Amino acid sequence: MGTTKVLAIAQAANSVGDGAFYVCSALYFTRVVGLSATRVGVALTVAWAVGAVVGVALGHLADRVGPRRVAVGLAVVTAGALASFLVVRSFWAFLAAACAYACGQCGLAAARQALLSGLVEPGRRTRVRAALQSVVNAGLAVGAGVGGLALHVDTAAAYLVVFAVDALGFAVAAVVLGRVPEVAGVARTGRLGVLRDRPYALVALLNSVLLLYMPMLSLVVPLWVAERTAAPKWVVGLLFALNTGAVVVGQVRLARGVTDLRTATRSVRRGGVLLLASCAVFALSAGVPDWAAVVVLVGAAGVQVVGEMLHGAGSWEIGFGLAPADKQGQYQGFYGTGTAVARTVGPLLLTTLVLGGGAVGWLVLGALFLAAALAMTPAVAWSRRARPKTVGVAA
Task: Pick the more confident residue, 393 or 260.
Answer: 260
Tell me the pLDDT band of 188, cut-offs 50, 70 and 90. low
pLDDT at 182: 82
Residue 295: pLDDT above 70? yes
- State the span(s) of the chain assigned CATH 1.20.1250.20: 3-179, 196-386
**281: pLDDT strictly greater than 90:** yes
Residue 192: pLDDT band (50, 70, 90) is low
Q: 221-245: string of b/e by CB count within 10 Å (b at 16+)?
A: bbebbeebbebeeebbeebbebbbe
Tell me which range, 213-217, 284-288, 344-348, 349-353, is most confidently predicted by mean pLDDT: 284-288
pLDDT above 90 covers a percentage of the chain that reads: 44
Confidence of residue 392 (pLDDT cuts 50, 70, 90): very low
- According to DSSP, residue 120 is labeled S
The more confidently predicted of residues 340 and 197 is 197
Instruction: Decide if pLDDT at 73 tops 70.
Output: yes
Cα–Cα distance, 312 to 74 (Å, whole number): 24
Q: Regarding predicted confidence, which is higher, 22 or 172?
A: 172
* Mean pLDDT over the full length of the chain: 88
Q: Quick one: pLDDT at residue 101?
A: 93
Inform me whether the pLDDT recorded for 279 exceeds 60: yes
pLDDT of residue 133: 86
Average pLDDT over residues 384-394: 58
CA distance 196 to 27: 41
pLDDT, residue 365, reads 97
pLDDT at 181: 86
pLDDT at 393: 40
Percent of the chain with pLDDT over 70: 96
Residue 345's contacts (CB-CB under 8 Å, 6 or more residues apart) are none
- Range of weakest confidence among 67-71, 97-101, 149-153, 255-259: 149-153
Domain 3-179 carries which CATH code?
1.20.1250.20
The average pLDDT across 252-264 equals 91
196-386 under CATH 2.60.40.10, yes or no: no
Q: Mean pLDDT, to the nearest integer, of 329-336?
A: 88
Average pLDDT over residues 69-78: 94
Confidence label for 390 from pLDDT (cuts 50, 70 and 90)? very low
Residue 159's region, left for phi above 0, alpha for psi from -120 to 50, else beta, is alpha
Global pTM?
0.82
The per-residue pLDDT for 24 is 82
> Which one, of 330, 337, 392, lies nearest residue 62 by Cα?
330
